[in-house]
Structure 1
Amino acid sequence: MEKDSLVNIGGNVENALAGNYKIDVQAVLREAWLHTQQSRKPINLGIAFCFFLTGFIMYAGASYLGINLVSSAEQDLAPLSLINLVATVLVAPFIAGVEMMGILKVIGVQTEPRLVFAFLRRSSWVALVTLISSLLISLGQILILPAIFFFVSLSLVVPLVIEKRVSPMQAIVLSIKALRFQWFKIFALYLVLSITLLLLSLPTIVLTNAGLGIVGLAVFALGLSYLIPMYYYVKGILYREIFGMKIQQVNADALNSHGRDDIFSA
């Protein structure tokens, strides 16, 4: 019986740090759209869970502090920001599961909604790297350019913590060093997705102003059901091409039980 072996797909850390990788914006978008057409359900269900969990945390935090989320006063902005930060950190391990769905799909591994819970054992490091990244992006908002720089440069830190098993600070340094070589192309990808989101909101605004708010929300939700998975597939393709990923190629006996050629184990 042959032993299981690790197979690397895509790039690797050494080449990433040397800038030995290429990003084709059009090719990434085409592949991400293909994956979106093939599989939307797992990511959408994962995001839906994270959305409701965030809402529950925000409501619980606001109720505890006696804040009205709908009509909060100016003096409540600081507590609301704190609640939002806490919610972001607490939900981060589940969002990490969604991010890994995007990566696994683009390397040919079947994904399921329950993967949103699959990486909780790394939750402390995921929460910490998310907190640091959020603070850097927030501090950068004083000047818009630093905020954009950190948003793009730190966009792959979570899978680095999970898949490469590096510390939060190592992930941040590694991500900034590696992404700087193709920063503008990566920025272009996120810009296209942001513009798509903006265009998607226009019919919703028009329909709402015409008294068809429910129809507008339905149109917006339908659009998001495509755009959200595509966003995570774009990130998955970027991670694959820049850092690569090691998966476990199992032997014939394992194939009979798992039903696929490659298994990932973080």
Structure 2
Amino acid sequence: MNDNLEKEFNVGGNIESALSGQYELKANNILKEAWQLTIKNFLSFSPTIVLLIVLQITIFVVALKMQLGDPSVIFKIFEESAESAQVQNIIESVLIANFSYEVISAPLFAGVCLMAMRHATGFKTQIRHILKGFQFTIPIMLMTLMALMLQGIAGMVLPFLSLYLSMAFSNAVLLICEKRITPMRSLLLSLRGVNKKILTITAVYALVLLMFFAAALFYGIGLIFVLPFYFHIKGIIYRDMFGIRLKVTHSGGNSLNSKKTQSQVFDA
């Protein structure tokens, strides 16, 4: 007879501890572990990152082409003879295209975040796991839409407020996928959780931002390391802040001692 016994447990923090700030989050530990995970999963994770970038660029170009017809007209911004009305139209088209690609590619972005979260619990992933975010397509796209609107409004008041909200909402996508929380509540919980450890998280993301700038100076080659590093940081912070639910399955019968462990989002 084959009997399966399942037991769920939590790795890291939980919603209650995240909102109260009763958990440990050290910048040095986050950066060290994120780098270790980046090196450990480099060969399997980097192709997924490249795939994400290619798909995002494709979506952006298509959205821009729908706005301008010929994307090459964007270079007219740098021409002295360009009319102000034409320049304004190009800028608006770029902003709309950027907005479109972020919303449309949000499920793919979520899939990569889930893969990094899985690495933070000691599991490996495959390229196909980038599709795991599609089961949450509607709530993720709604959350992304709301976050971008709030960041845009905040940016019109003070530019740095947009950066702050981007950081404050950084856990929302995983809260939707892993905790099955609604879009608006995920934004609120992420905001409240980040505010409890604002100094540590700001220091970590400030370093990541500097790394992005440094990578850009070297023709973007360094992004092959910085991007996986960034996603692993997101996974580690989420794990330590909100926790990750795992399920252990003990199989009975002829395989009494066998055991499988899986996250709530990923298949066994």
The two structures share one fold, judged by TM-score above 0.5: yes
In the other structure, the counterpart of 1:14 is 16
Matches within 5 A, 1:123-138: 123-138=137-152
In the other structure, the counterpart of 2:118 is 104
In the other structure, the counterpart of 1:149 is 164
Per the alignment, do residues 170 and 77 of structure 1 end up closer, same or farther by CA in structure 2, a change over 3 Å counting? same
Which of 23, 28, 32 aligns to 1:30? It is: 32
Which of 175, 178, 182 aligns to 1:167? It is: 182
In the other structure, the counterpart of 1:210 is none
User: TM-score, normalized by length of structure 1?
Assistant: 0.86
Q: Is the 8 A contact 1:67 1:76 kept in 2?
A: no
**Displacement after TM superposition at 1:2 (Å):** 4.5
Structure 2 residue 193 is matched with structure 1 residue 194: no
Q: Is the 8 A contact 2:41 2:124 kept in 1?
A: no
**Displacement after TM superposition at 1:29 (Å):** 0.5
Which of 45, 48, 52 aligns to 2:47? It is: 45
Between structure 1 and structure 2, the one with the greater Rg is 2
Report the secondary structure of 1:78's partner residue.
helix
Q: Is the 8 A contact 1:41 1:113 kept in 2?
A: no
**Displacement after TM superposition at 1:66 (Å):** 3.5
Report percent identity of matched pairs. Answer: 23
Partners of 1:34 and 1:191 lie apart in 2 by: 19
Count of residue pairs brought into register by the alignment? 247
In the other structure, the counterpart of 2:226 is 227
Q: Is the 8 A contact 1:47 1:95 kept in 2?
A: no
AA of the residue aligned to 1:225: I
Which range moved further: 163-172 or 139-148?
Answer: 139-148
**Displacement after TM superposition at 1:247 (Å):** 1.1
**Displacement after TM superposition at 1:117 (Å):** 0.4
Q: Is the 8 A contact 2:56 2:101 kept in 1?
A: yes
**Any idea what the Cα deviations from partners look like across 1:89-125, whole Å, max 9, x if unmatched?**
1100011000011111011122111110012111110
Per the alignment, do residues 123 and 38 of structure 1 end up closer, same or farther by CA in structure 2, a change over 3 Å counting? same
Which of 120, 129, 143 aligns to 2:134? It is: 120
Partners of 2:62 and 2:38 lie apart in 1 by: 34
**Displacement after TM superposition at 1:132 (Å):** 1.2
**Displacement after TM superposition at 1:130 (Å):** 1.1
In structure 1, the gaps of 5 or more residues are 205-216
Per the alignment, do residues 64 and 201 of structure 1 end up closer, same or farther by CA in structure 2, a change over 3 Å counting? closer
Q: Is the 8 A contact 1:109 1:262 kept in 2?
A: no
Per the alignment, do residues 2 and 66 of structure 1 end up closer, same or farther by CA in structure 2, a change over 3 Å counting? closer
Per the alignment, do residues 140 and 265 of structure 1 end up closer, same or farther by CA in structure 2, a change over 3 Å counting? same
Per the alignment, do residues 194 and 245 of structure 1 end up closer, same or farther by CA in structure 2, a change over 3 Å counting? same
Considering only aligned residues, what root-mean-square deviation do their CA atoms show, in Å? 2.0
AA of the residue aligned to 1:175: S
User: TM-score, normalized by length of structure 2?
Assistant: 0.86
Q: Is the 8 A contact 2:250 2:259 kept in 1?
A: no
Which range moved further: 123-132 or 41-50?
Answer: 41-50
**Displacement after TM superposition at 1:17 (Å):** 1.1
